[in-house]
Structure 1
Amino acid sequence: MKNFVKCFVIITIIMVMTFFPVGKVHAIDLKQAALNGDSVAKAFAVVEKNSGRLIMAKNENERLPMASTTKIVTAIAVIENNDLTKTVTVPKAAVGVEGSSMYLKEGEKYTVKDLLCGLMLRSGNDCAVALALDTSGGIEEFAKLMNGIASKLKLTNSHFVNPHGLPENNHYTSAYDLAIITAYALKNKEFSEIVKSKNYMLSNGNTIINKNKLLSSLEGCDGVKTGFTKEAGRCLVSSATRGDATYICVVLSCGPMFEECAEKLNTAFNSLIMTDIISTNTPLCEIEVVGGEQKHVSLGLACVTHFPFTPDEAMSLRFEFELPPCVLAPLQKGEKIGKLHIYYNNRLLFSEDLFTMESIDLDYDD
């Protein structure tokens, strides 16, 4: 088995070197590029949406206030727990909330989607309160939904106590956590459609305009949220898609937030290529099966490993398999067994679950 694994790793690396289109981009040291950028942001992070790879960062795990970029978490929590077509009557508690506002009036009626667009396009703090109360019945109860998202994504540097991002004790995130939450949210169709909208007509006929000016100035920009308070400074989460790559940039406490996000997103697009390393039909390794009609089962990936790499990285990847010594029959196709770890310069880039590629019944004659 060890020889099989070694052989496969060598073949895989050769395949990457053969099919990676070297020459279309310039190989650069992304970490050095980030340092050379003289970022004025207190913290930032750039990740690729689907792989979750951290591309560039500064103080990415520091717990910081994030102002209205909080509403990214609010929006996805509402979308996952409410009906966007439902009509909401604006409660008194949502009227006159300080900060940016849609100027809702008590008793007015809007759909949940109307309020979500007011939340994400105009940054309405009143919309945030109305949505939280309608979804969960109370701010504290809604914050539990928000924290549940961070917990589900296994993030440890985020905690939410309100739906709008106004300053409050114990309300914080990190640039990295917020980027991962945004990547998660952007995989939701309703969320992604809302945040890339330059304008939206409310059910009452009024039109609202998105505050995110990168939607008009940055190629491929498709979201997501601005933010500002005195405590948090200027904050921005931006995403852009070009071809089959989507990168997300978070800057916290950054004066030139639009310029920094645009520069970092362009650097990512100009420096990396999304590459299929291993197809879903490729057996990666075998593992011994005890008590089965077959003595070994092949393991592979459940989906195409589509990762962002520089040319230099693609030529120097190392693959490691984390496997038990054996498994017991019976086995169903698609059972999760072990992991594949992909390294560059002894630094872990990705880990992917390995799955059985076939079913194996018990050997009753054994």
Structure 2
Amino acid sequence: MKKFIKKFLLSSLFVTSIFTSINSIDVKATELPPVYSEGAVLMDGRTGTVLYSKNEHTQFEPASTTKVMTALVVLENVKLTDKVTIGEKPPLVDGSAIGIREGEVYTVEELMLGLLLESGNDCAEALAEYVAGSNEEFAKLMNAKAKELGALNTNFKNPSGLHEDGHLTTAYDLALMMKAALHNKDYVRISQTESYKYVNQPFSDGSEKWATNRNQLLNEYSPYFYGSTLCGKNGYTPEANHSYTAAAVRDEEVLVGAFINATDKDNFYSNIGKLFDYGFDNFETIKLISANDELDTYKINDEITIPLLAKTDFYYTKAKSEDKPLYSLEYDKIDISKQAIKTGDILYKAKLKVDGKTISTMDLISGTDRDYTIQVKTKEGISEFFKKPLNILYVILVVFALFIIRNYIVLFKRRRNLKNKRPKFNR
């Protein structure tokens, strides 16, 4: 009987695995799925190339996806181990909260856990006060960081995302913020945390205080769970409706999605994973240029050339159906022959063109050292002088003139010596 049960279970597992494999093939997205938000962007997380967009530069309220920027500003300005004493205002904020109280002390990291896992508005305001003194001053830091990232259609008024006139961003700008966040190890680590218990800060009645991850695509118990999700942040207010931003990784490909103003929650979240699949299935990012690749040379003379190398890697996002693109460089070849050069010196800034279109710039660095001492300068000066035919003619003429002058002087001396040697007769 035991053997029968064992065989039955093994058979069941085998059949289940087959159906799972078939199922995964059937649902593989190759066509663009419906997108249930008013603003949306699917972006490559390495190059920033937009793969899909919908009203990408139209301003909407971001709700709690605001907290992506809040986290970035906090991580940039203070240490995670810093101690924060809670003031009077943060515990009184509306909306989602972990239940902090005035006078309690938390580390910055504990408040960040409440911010990103539970979307705690109280944590957002406590962090804002600690970093900048007030919500208003913190919002200035948020807006400055947004401009630095290229999020030019964004204006933040508070760190939580609660409704406030003029608190706006776009799907494209939100994608840029998530792109920056996914490259911050602390942001990713904290936002991936499943749950956190505030051991030293229970509720006033003695019950345990926890922060539990509410990320719709990262939480494996969510109906919208998407296994490739790296990190993300969801949001909702009655005025903003549903919003979401996330990064996903598959086979070293990284994608960023940003979605704003959705009213149909179920369809909205159900199709985000499908849009990521569309991106992974149809696009790829390749390394077009590697750091230290020799892209050109600069000829100083017949004996000396300077290799011009790429300073950094360059990645390019393309459709999988396209061939590897051709690239070219365009730069002003200013004279560098009269200067000392060290390996790694930036010599030129070139325009990088792919299929004839300028898409980026590339620093070209020297691949070798080149001394330019007085001796080298003299030697090269003489060499350059004799490369010009007219100069050679001048030299020949000068040598010829010197030869004639020399001969004249020799002849003059001989005549004078002969004259001096003639016998003198007294009369």
Q: Give the structure-2-normalised TM-score.
A: 0.71
Whole-angstrom CA distance in 1 between matches of 2:302 and 2:199: 62
How much does 1:225 deviate? 0.3
Aligned amino acid, residue 49 of structure 1 = G
How much does 1:244 deviate? 1.1
Deviations 1:251-283 (A, max 9, x none): 111233322321111111112233222222321
How much does 1:72 deviate? 0.2
Whole-angstrom CA distance in 1 between matches of 2:107 and 2:189: 16
Whole-angstrom CA distance in 1 between matches of 2:34 and 2:125: 38
Whole-angstrom CA distance in 1 between matches of 2:144 and 2:298: 36
Q: Residues 123, 288 of structure 1: CA spacing in aligned structure 2 closer, same or farther, 3 A cutoff?
A: farther
Q: Which residue of structure 1 lines up, in the alignment, with residue 132 of structure 2?
A: 136
Q: Which residue of structure 2 lines up, in the alignment, with residue 4 of structure 1?
A: none
Deviations 1:53-95 (A, max 9, x none): 2111111111221111000000010011011111211111101
Q: Which residue of structure 1 lines up, in the alignment, with residue 48 of structure 2?
A: 52
- Pair 1:224 & 2:220 matched: no
How much does 1:319 deviate? 1.8
* Identity fraction in percent: 29
Q: Residues 314, 144 of structure 1: CA spacing in aligned structure 2 closer, same or farther, 3 A cutoff?
A: farther
* Superposition pairs of residues 160-239 of structure 1, within 5 angstroms: 160-204=156-200, 206-215=209-218, 216=220, 217-239=225-247
* Superposition pairs of residues 74-113 of structure 1, within 5 angstroms: 74-113=70-109
Whole-angstrom CA distance in 2 between matches of 1:332 and 1:65: 51
- Pair 1:299 & 2:313 matched: no
Q: Which residue of structure 2 lines up, in the alignment, with residue 261 of structure 1?
A: 272
Whole-angstrom CA distance in 2 between matches of 1:57 and 1:211: 26
How much does 1:230 deviate? 2.0
How much does 1:354 deviate? 2.4
Question: Secondary structure in 1 aligned to 2:363?
Answer: strand
The answer (yes or no) to whether the contact 1:68–1:225 under 8 Å persists in 2 is yes
- Greater helix fraction, Structure 1 or Structure 2: 2
How much does 1:210 deviate? 0.8
How much does 1:245 deviate? 1.4
- Pair 1:42 & 2:50 matched: no
Q: Which residue of structure 1 lines up, in the alignment, with residue 285 of structure 2?
A: 274
Q: Which residue of structure 2 lines up, in the alignment, with residue 283 of structure 1?
A: 294
Aligned amino acid, residue 240 of structure 1 = A
Q: Residues 203, 257 of structure 1: CA spacing in aligned structure 2 closer, same or farther, 3 A cutoff?
A: farther
Aligned residues: 329
Q: Residues 78, 39 of structure 1: CA spacing in aligned structure 2 closer, same or farther, 3 A cutoff?
A: same
Larger displacement relative to structure 2 (119-128 or 318-327): 318-327
Aligned amino acid, residue 313 of structure 1 = E
Q: Give the structure-1-normalised TM-score.
A: 0.82
> Larger relative CO (CA 8 A, sep 6+): 1 or 2?
1
Whole-angstrom CA distance in 2 between matches of 1:281 and 1:242: 28
**Structure number with larger C-alpha Rg:** 2
Q: Residues 332, 202 of structure 1: CA spacing in aligned structure 2 closer, same or farther, 3 A cutoff?
A: farther
Aligned amino acid, residue 304 of structure 1 = D
Q: Which residue of structure 1 lines up, in the alignment, with residue 415 of structure 2?
A: none
Whole-angstrom CA distance in 2 between matches of 1:167 and 1:330: 59
Q: Residues 203, 279 of structure 1: CA spacing in aligned structure 2 closer, same or farther, 3 A cutoff?
A: same
Whole-angstrom CA distance in 2 between matches of 1:220 and 1:361: 53
Whole-angstrom CA distance in 2 between matches of 1:248 and 1:304: 21
Q: Residues 322, 338 of structure 1: CA spacing in aligned structure 2 closer, same or farther, 3 A cutoff?
A: farther
| Structure 2 residue runs without a partner (length 5+) | 1-29, 201-207, 381-427
Q: Which residue of structure 1 lines up, in the alignment, with residue 323 of structure 2?
A: 314
Q: Residues 138, 356 of structure 1: CA spacing in aligned structure 2 closer, same or farther, 3 A cutoff?
A: same
Q: Residues 136, 294 of structure 1: CA spacing in aligned structure 2 closer, same or farther, 3 A cutoff?
A: farther
Q: Output the aligned Cα RMSD.
A: 2.5
| Structure 1 residue runs without a partner (length 5+) | 1-29
Q: Which residue of structure 2 lines up, in the alignment, with residue 22 of structure 1?
A: none
Equivalent of residue 343 in structure 1, options 344, 354, 361: 354
The answer (yes or no) to whether the contact 1:96–1:103 under 8 Å persists in 2 is no
